């Protein structure tokens, strides 16, 4: 998980969000205006099953405002991601598969490496490794398959490199080493993310073409996984699966304060004190207070195991369909049980 | 888990604590006095490795004040429970094994049934089933063992009955059915508990001889597992492994308010509003606000899998030593891998 | 597993087969004739997806010849059970669901208890517990569901009682205790079986209405799970998931001898010696020789985990469809992920 | 597993053994003499707890006779490896840790990479990944530890690269890529092996300094993991955890034939036919016959999960002690739970 699976030794809460849609909300707040951010283009699409937001960061200024690299960030939001709703999941799989192609162009025989980032021992961080276990891997069969089958599958390899606490090695080092041997045309990296709104946990999937930095958010410098470092394009697929304790308190403090204001005097000094705080400052203050106390806690839904399995299924199906010409919507769950 | 693994359909947060030491804290607060509660006897013992509190509820009045049945509640607290500290764990295993015997007298050949309550699919609720998987089970070998070995082991049976959401059956019904077939002299039930202080998560083990009510705390009436319902004495062993989101917010609100008071005007109306709330009222208000929002969330440490395994080891070792004459401190971890 | 999960202390190989179709083959061989066995009725049905054999033991004589109680034994055989063939599995789920109803009549509101026998720690014996984890359990929701939903679901409970080596208690005792509390109308028990032909491993599902005896085959007397012992009808669903080492050697000795006979003198004394052995005698001789050597070995396919998962899915889907009026072929895999 | 986890498409049984002690037995048989093989030095050591054989292949001729590269092969045999015997395991851990140092010299600050080969989804092939999960990994902490602690630990990294069927990439490619980034001084590779005697399953641990070839035995050309390919010395640690079906039949055919010869005429043509076969020819004939029938079967003890866990513990403890100056026999199981 980008803010989760690496050691978060100092100041675990000085995180920014992994989600472009949240970064945009924060940036808008700071700009204290409803008008569009310069250099940031946003398109949305709503269906009965999901809400799709395409954030495109076009300029250096947009990148600075958003705190994220230039490029495309597509976020699919749906409460149905958490439910056992096969029909809705089919539609989501379809739109994800299409958007994988929209993010990076790659030839029909190009070799693709799928990397499941995260720690398989911690359920909400195990999303990436779970997706990898459901990918239809074919690279090693090239040349040994009958011609008619060979045409239905692209060469695909898949690895779960682990996290630094498990391997002693930076995830980026391991992947760079493998990329230099396998020479894929494209890397697809799946990772669990941290969100800044409890309501988004397991309810959003973000696709981007700007690379991913395992652990970057936590203040440690980490090797970025992107075109610059690896020499190939990178599609990152992420799902916010936890919030930290400070986020939970921050969110609920807002609810509680609103509630209380109704019962107390509006002009109270306490309210003014709080109101005068920037959103980010307030979060930071809470994080600082909580630090020694809950630094090691995270907040997760009770049914997290089942939900992570379901999300891994959805993502793996959409990757299998996006990559292999012969795998279609008819084959959903054929390779992912 | 007593407040956790059963459906918590209505008002999940109107819980009281499972821990007698916390019930006493709350009762003391309500009595708004530092003096002893009537009908409640408390003894403590401190070593460099753990802190032991023996709460004895002696009268109906004590029971009413504490909201718990008459009887003995022994709580061992140690931050070392969360650490990989073999030497310290040995001392804890020893004191737990001794206290199992102090709670209920049972003959040296008496058959004991060990029951691991909780949901094996949810890590922090899987403590009971994990302990059961490490118990040295011998009841079925009675009569087939050589005389000299037979003398070293007591007849012990062990089951993990599951939770109602998994089986469709009340845990108490299943255990009563089994008790009526097996006719044990004693039931030892292990369960994960809910705490009311985040700091106690995985840092305390409570032993009691007053029975246990799976799910009772959550407002649903559940069959109590105790001498009355089962006809045999019951030792309950519990560990607080989660807090709910409301507890976390409640705890941290207290910290934050204290912090803020230092920076703001003491006489503010807001502060007065908060100060005028009883501890329990405040918790309830937070729970009500949070209800629809985080009712399904829980707060757990990141390394929960490893910690639960360690706790299960400690408890299983202490039960094996307490029950089998031939299992001693020399045999720690011999049956619990 | 009927011949597998209980201790097989003495002569682990004096087993007879769990499969009625194999019992019939053996009985036919002993009768050394192709004509029908007295008191045994056999009907078969073949489709492109599976082969169905309905063996009905009608009389005491038939029961004696077959070594099995009177009643119905329906065996579905299909190599596709081992493959990832969704279309074929749908047809198998449908025919299994229909046959569950053909074996025992039960009213549309009757409560059904599903029991997953076997040891969840040993992959090929974990079939029963895996099926149970995929059953749509509803008994505890009766009364709390809206009327229109309540009509779509029957009260269903489900338990995995474990095996004697884990619990210290006979499986039959545990289930009898639970039946006496829950008062179901029908018990459906799922168990892994032992086969006598390696080729049948994971390639057959047997349904019967004559009860099941955990561990009975291995010479230990065990409590039979049937109408007599439990007071309610029992449907047993079994899959042969292992063969013992003696079966493998026996099977392959046959192949090898046939092969060798082509290269050597037909009249050789050795061949005569072997040929003069009854099938059962030969097996017994091999088992005796192998006993001390491989008594603890079993033979299983490499991909056993994936195959057992797939079989558990098929069986759980067919039970869910057979039991709940509102669960149909449209809902396949909705409750079994 | 060297003969197990890679695809064994053609002729899965034309394997030779992974164990030097078995290769020597076979070579001796072919040499049809009890005298020493040229260029092969053998030393043995027996204690009440284990039997240690040090085979040293000194010359090209020895290498040719043994079918193995020049170098050292140390095999520890003990039935106690399968049992829960802590005292005996301690002695085994000690002797293994010493022998790791005897095989390759490496400086006290040298970085070591530990690689767990094999497929984590197949229990008997999961030995390597299980060992890796119990290794005390420290490379990423270098520089951030206090001086006094830093002196007690060597930089150690650890990876489980998976198998080609899972990743689509040769294990050797992945490891070479990682070695080129991490620049370790030594690779320790743990793998499950195939044995040629059922009696050796889980009862032997082999250490060697000649490298290891994942899947080499099965006829596919695979990249060797050794000093030549990786540029650093390689210690391979292997345990035979399965035999194939042909080995089981071969072994038991021998028993059965011996038994039968006592009852039949010694001069029979059949016996002569069998006797005239070389050991290897006979095995090959059985393998050919069995091929289509049991090519996908393996033979494993029932309690395989527990035994593999125990073996992983023993090996991980010995590696931790061998590598880290500050980890001693006092710390057994401290890092391996």
Alpha helices in D200-303 (DSSP H): 227-230, 245-261, 269-275, 279-294
Q: Is there a single domain that holds both residue C142 and residue C205?
A: yes
Concatenating the DSSP letter of every residue in B100-112 gives: HHHH----TT--E
Q: How confident is the model at residue A272 (pLDDT cuts 50, 70, 90)?
A: low
- Burial classification of residue D170, based on how many CB atoms lie within 10 Å of its CB (0-12 exposed, 13-18 middle, 19 or more buried): buried
Q: How many Cβ pairs within 8 Å bridge chains A and D?
A: 95
In whole angstroms, give the CA distance from residue A167 to residue A129: 15
Model pLDDT, residue B271: 58
| C30-34, C76-80, C142-146: least confidently modelled range | C30-34
* Residue D190 reports pLDDT greater than 60: yes
Q: In D, which residues are within 8 Å of B310 by CB distance?
A: 337
Rounded to whole angstroms, the Cα distance separating A205 from A52 reads 10
pLDDT value at position B243? 78
- Check: CB of residue D48 under 8 Å from CB of residue D70: no
If you average pLDDT over residues A253-276, what whole number do you get? 60
- How far, in Å, CA of D74 to CA of D95, rounded? 11
pLDDT classification of B231: cutoffs 50, 70, 90: very high
D201-220: per-residue pLDDT in tens?
A: 899 999 999 999 775 433 34
Bridge partners of D52, per DSSP, are D45, D76
- Coil/strand/helix, residue B227: helix
D294 against A71, higher pLDDT: A71
* Structure token digits, residue C31: 């009768």
Task: Find out whether D188 and D237 touch, Cβ atoms under 8 Å.
Answer: yes
Same domain, A180 and A270: no
How close, in Å, is residue C226 to chain A by CA atoms? 35
| pLDDT the model gives residue A278 | 60
CATH number at residue D211: 3.40.50.1450
| DSSP letter (8 states) at residue D212 | B
Length of chain C: 337
* C137 lies in the same domain as C284: no
Residue B331 pLDDT: 83
Residue A18 belongs to a domain: yes
Note whether B226 and B313 are same-domain residues.
Answer: yes
Look up residue A34 and give its two tokens.
């409803």
Contact B197, B279 (CB under 8 A): no
C337 located within any domain: no
CB C85 within 8 A of CB C203: no
Report yes or no on A26 lying in a domain. Answer: yes
Q: Which residue in chain D is spatially nearest to B83 when comparing CA positions?
A: D334
Provide the terminal-to-terminal Cα distance of chain B, rounded to the nearest Å. Answer: 23
- Beta-carbon-side half-sphere exposure of residue C180 (alpha carbons within 13 Å): 15
Q: Which residue has the higher pLDDT, D243 or C184?
A: C184
Q: Which residues does D contribute to its contact with A (CB < 8 Å)?
A: 9, 133, 137-141, 144, 155-162, 164-170, 173-174, 176-182
pLDDT beyond 60 at D12: no
pTM value is 0.83
D258 and D132: one domain? no
A51 and A129 together in one domain: yes
Same domain, D12 and D148: yes
Helix (H) or strand (E) holding C57: strand C51-57
Give percent of chain A with pLDDT exceeding 70: 77
- Which residues in chain D are contacts of A139 at CB distance < 8 A? 168-169
ipTM score here? 0.85
Lowest-pLDDT range, A171-185, B22-36, C86-100, C316-330?
B22-36
- DSSP calls for C192-210: EEE-SSGGGTTSEEEEESS
Instruction: Please give the C-alpha separations between residue D253 and each of A299, D8, D240, D283, in angstroms, as whole numbers.
Output: 60, 24, 21, 10
Mutation target to probe the C interface, by most C beta carbons within 10 A, among D270, D289, D309 is: D270
Inside any domain, residue B337: no
Closest CA to C249 of D255, A179, D216, D312: D255
Which of B222, B238, B239, B230 has its CA nearest to residue B113? B230
| Chain A residues with CB within 8 Å of chain B CB | 4, 121-123, 198-199, 245, 248-249, 251-253, 255-256, 259-260, 263-265, 268-271, 273, 285-286, 289-290, 293-294, 296-303, 305-306
Asked whether the predicted pLDDT for residue B10 surpasses 60, the reply is no
Asked if residue A106 and residue A46 are part of one domain, the reply reads yes
Q: Tell me the CA end-to-end span of chain A in Å, nearest whole number.
A: 23
Q: Say if CB D48 and CB D85 are below 8 A apart.
A: no
pLDDT at A246 over 90: no
Q: Decide: D53 and D75 in contact? Cβ < 8 Å.
A: yes
CA dihedral D118, D122, D127, D131 (to 10 degrees): 90
Does a structural domain hold residue B1?
A: no
Number of independent structural domains in chain C = 2
Cβ-Cβ contacts under 8 Å between A and C: the total is 19
Distance of CA C174 to the CA centre of its chain: 20
Residue of C143, C155, C168 to mutate, testing the B interface (most B Cβ within 10 Å of its Cβ): C168
CB-CB: which of C84, C306, C313 is closest to A334? C84
Q: Which residues does D contribute to its contact with B (CB < 8 Å)? A: 84, 86, 306, 309-310, 313, 333-335, 337
Give which of B318, B91, B66, B321 is closest to B210, Cα–Cα.
B66
- Beta-carbon contacts of D149 under 8 Å, excluding residues fewer than 6 positions away, are D326
CB contact under 8 A, C84 and A306: no
Contact check, Cβ <8 Å, B299/A264: no
CB atoms < 10 A from the CB of B111, how many?
20
Between A25 and B96, residue with greater pLDDT:
B96
Which among B140, B162, B174 has CB closest to C164?
B140
What pLDDT score was predicted for residue C14?
A: 35
Q: Among partner residues C309, C334, C335, which is closest to A337 by beta-carbon distance?
A: C309
* Range among B224-238, C269-283, D297-311 with highest mean pLDDT value: B224-238
Q: How far apart are CA C197 and CA C190, in angstroms?
A: 21
Query: Distance from B166 to chain C by nearest Cα, in Å?
Result: 7
Chain D residues with CB under 8 Å of C199 CB are 293
Give tens-digit pLDDT for B97-139.
Answer: 999 999 999 998 899 999 999 988 888 889 999 999 999 999 9
- Nearest-5° Cα angle at C249, C245 to C252: 140
Q: Are residues B154 and B18 in the same domain?
A: yes
**B228 burial type by CB count under 10 A (0-12 exposed, 13-18 middle, 19+ buried):** exposed
Q: Could you tell me the CA-to-CA distances from D199 to A38, A232, C290, D78 in Å, in that order?
A: 73, 51, 12, 11
B81, B152: one domain: yes
Q: Please tell me whether residue B197 adopts helix, strand or coil conformation.
A: coil
Structural domain contains residue D110: yes
Residue C47 lies in a domain: yes
The rounded mean pLDDT for chain D is 82
Band of residue C93 on the pLDDT scale cut at 50, 70, 90? very high
In this model, does residue A157 exceed pLDDT 80?
yes
Whether D336 is covered by a domain: the verdict is: no
Residue B256: predicted pLDDT: 65
What are D5's two structure tokens? 């986890």
Average pLDDT over residues C286-296: 61
Top pLDDT among B143 and D284 is at B143
Same domain, C52 and C105: yes
**Closest of B249, B278, B246, B214 to residue B12, by C-alpha:** B246
Domain that holds residue C260: 248-294
Residues A30-77 have pLDDT tens digits of 666 556 788 999 999 999 999 999 999 999 999 998 888 999 999 999
> How does pLDDT run across C186-245, given as a tens digit for each residue?
999 999 987 777 788 899 999 999 999 775 433 345 788 999 999 999 999 999 988 777
Backbone phi and psi for residue A117, each to the nearest 5 degrees, phi listed first: -80, 160
DSSP secondary structure string for all residues of C157-225: EEE----HHHHSS-HHHHHHHHHHHH--SEEEEEEEEE-SSGGGTTSEEEEESS-B-TTGGGTS----B
- Tell me which range, C118-122, C244-248, D294-298, D322-326, is most confidently predicted by mean pLDDT: D322-326
pLDDT value, residue A23: 84
Kindly report the nearest CA distance between residue A183 and chain D, in angstroms. Answer: 11
Residue B122 and residue B182 share a domain:
yes
Chain C partners within 8 Å of A86 (Cβ): 333-334
Rounded CA gap, A295 and A8, in Å?
A: 9
């Amino acid at each position: 998980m980008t803010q989760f699976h690496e050691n978060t030794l100092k100041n675990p809460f000085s995180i920014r969000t992994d989600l472009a849609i949240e970064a945009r909300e924060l940036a808008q707040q700071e700009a204290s205006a409803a008008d569009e951010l310069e250099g940031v283009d946003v398109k949305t699409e709503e269906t009965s099953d999901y809400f799709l937001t395409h954030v495109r960061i076009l300029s250096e200024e947009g990148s600075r405002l958003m705190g994220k690299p230039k490029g495309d960030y597509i976020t699919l939001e749906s409460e149905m991601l958490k439910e056992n709703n096969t029909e809705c999941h089919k539609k989501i799989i379809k739109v994800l598969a299409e958007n994988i192609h929209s993010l990076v162009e790659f030839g029909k025989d190009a070799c693709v490496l799928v990397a499941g980032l995260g720690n398989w021992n911690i359920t909400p961080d195990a999303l990436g490794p779970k997706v990898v276990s459901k990918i239809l891997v074919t690279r090693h069969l090239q040349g040994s398959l009958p011609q008619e089958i060979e045409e239905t599958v692209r060469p695909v390899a898949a690895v779960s490199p682990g996290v630094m606490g498990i391997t002693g090695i930076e995830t980026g080092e391991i992947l760079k080493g493998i990329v230099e041997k396998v020479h894929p045309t494209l890397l697809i990296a799946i990772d669990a993310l941290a969100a800044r709104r409890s309501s988004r946990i397991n309810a959003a999937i973000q696709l981007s073409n700007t690379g991913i930095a395992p652990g970057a958010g936590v203040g440690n410098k980490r090797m970025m996984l992107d075109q610059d470092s690896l020499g190939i394009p990178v599609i990152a697929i992420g799902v916010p699966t936890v919030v930290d304790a400070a986020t939970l308190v921050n969110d609920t403090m807002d609810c509680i304060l609103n509630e209380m204001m109704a019962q107390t005097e509006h002009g109270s000094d306490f309210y003014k004190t709080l109101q005068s705080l920037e959103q980010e400052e307030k979060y930071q203050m809470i994080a600082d207070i909580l630090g020694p106390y809950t630094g090691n806690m995270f907040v997760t839904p009770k049914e997290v195991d089942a939900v992570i399995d379901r999300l891994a299924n959805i993502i793996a199906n959409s990757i299998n369909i996006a990559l292999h010409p012969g795998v279609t919507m008819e084959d959903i769950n054929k390779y992912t049980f």
